[in-house]
Amino acid sequence: MIAGDLLAALPSPEAAISPLAEGAALLRAFAAEEAPALLEALNSVLAAAPFRHMLTPGGHRMSVAMSNCGRLGWVTDRRGYRYDDRDPETERPWPAMPSLFASVAARAAARSGYPAFAPDCCLINRYHPGARMALHQDRDERDFSQPIVSVSLGLPAIFLFGGLTREARPLRVRLAHGDVVVWGGRVRLAFHGVAPLANGLHPLTGSARINLTFRKAA
Ligand code: MD6
Ligand code: FE
């Protein structure tokens, strides 16, 4: 095979981007190369702010375990959903956002048409088999002109991507290790969720899917 043929056989960066809807893009395997380093940095974050199962305002224990890093963290308890600059478990500030996290998020956003994305929060979600996320809108942030960047690591999941009302029947999108979804513009307030995680084992995360969602909350 000559060099030109070899290059043509590789997926081009352009080919790896697929629009999900106006304003939303799926960047397949965008973070795959950096995933081991992301997971290593994540371990330091989790040493200071371990995963916990938060309570919904209605008093249900979430099946997804969560933590945060960055200036603000997303929390839920009997008092409601909100961003807080302290971890309620330790009353200390959330761990700093690793620079690699911020850089992957900013690059994915720029690639999707959102330049200068500067997240102040990274919500960390851990799913084990059976864990799910009910359809919801992300609307606790102050400025909806900023997108959300979502990085999937470990086991694959079916992401449910609905419409601007709860009634619209969601698209089902398989998100695999290293896939990144960038979400903003006209669909910034779309309903979305995650179907119950299937059993599996991933070489880097074992029986878990990890999702990092980056937000500009303040
Ligand atoms: C998850 N993600 O993938 C949950 N929200 O585990 C979200 O709730 C989400 O991926 C807004 C934008 C992208 C997301
Ligand atoms: Fe969400």
Residue with more model confidence, 6 or 46: 46
Distance CA 181, CA 29 (A): 10
Residue ranges with CB less than 5 Å from ion ligand 2: 138
Q: Considering every ligand atom, which ligand is closest to the CA of 148?
A: 1
pLDDT confidence band for 34 (50 / 70 / 90): very high
Pocket of ligand 1 (CB under 6 A): 125, 133, 138, 148, 150, 159, 181, 183, 192, 194, 211, 213
Residue 8 covered by a domain:
no
**Which of residues 21 and 204 earns the better pLDDT score?**
204
Domain contains 2: no
| Strand 24-27 versus strand 180-183 pairing type | antiparallel
Strands of the sheet with 192-194, listed across from one edge: 133-136, 192-194, 157-161, 171-175
Beta strands 80-84 and 73-77 are: antiparallel
Question: Kind and range of the H or E element at 161?
Answer: strand 157-161
pLDDT digits 0-9 by tens, 148-159? 999 999 999 999
12 within domain boundaries: no
Q: What is the mean pLDDT of residues 117-121?
A: 97
- Tokens standing for residue 48: 């200071």
pLDDT for position 18: 76
Residue 5 covered by a domain: no
Protein residue whose Cα sits closest to atom 3 of ligand 1? 211
**Residue 21 pLDDT:** 77
More confident residue, 1 or 108: 108
Contact criterion met (CB below 8 Å) for 212 and 101: yes
Please report, for residues 35, 55, 148, the alpha-carbon distance to residue 187 in angstroms, rounded to integers and kept in the order given. 27, 27, 11
Can you give the CATH number for the domain in which 126 is found? 2.60.120.590
For ligand 1, the distance from its centroid to the CA atom of residue 10, given in whole angstroms, is 29
Q: Residue 98: its pLDDT value, please? A: 98
Any domain includes 144: yes
- Predicted pLDDT at 177: 98
Residue whose entry in the numeric block shows the structure tokens 């102050």: 142
Section 109-121 average pLDDT: 96
pLDDT of residue 2: 47
Confidence of residue 1 (pLDDT cuts 50, 70, 90): very low
Q: What is the pLDDT of residues 186-203, one digit of tens each?
A: 899 999 999 999 999 999
- Stronger pLDDT, 107 or 6, i.e. the higher one: 107
Q: Which ligand is nearest to the CA of 21?
A: 1
Per-residue confidence (pLDDT) for residue 141, from 0 to 100? 94
This prediction has a pTM of 0.92
* Predicted pLDDT at 147: 96
Number of domains in the chain: 1
Three-class SS state of 68? strand
How far does the centroid of ligand 2 lie from the alpha carbon of residue 137, in Å? 6
- Report the pLDDT averaged over residues 9-29: 73
Dist. CA 197–CA 195, nearest whole Å:
6
- How confident is residue 16, by pLDDT bands cut at 50, 70 and 90? confident
Residue 24: pLDDT over 60: yes
pLDDT tens-digit readout, 62-102: 999 999 999 999 999 999 999 999 999 999 999 999 999 99
| Residue span of the structural domain in which 78 resides | 18-215
| Angstrom distance (rounded) from CA 43 to CA 212 | 13
Ligand 1 mutation target, pool 173, 213, 216, most atoms within 8 A of CB: 213
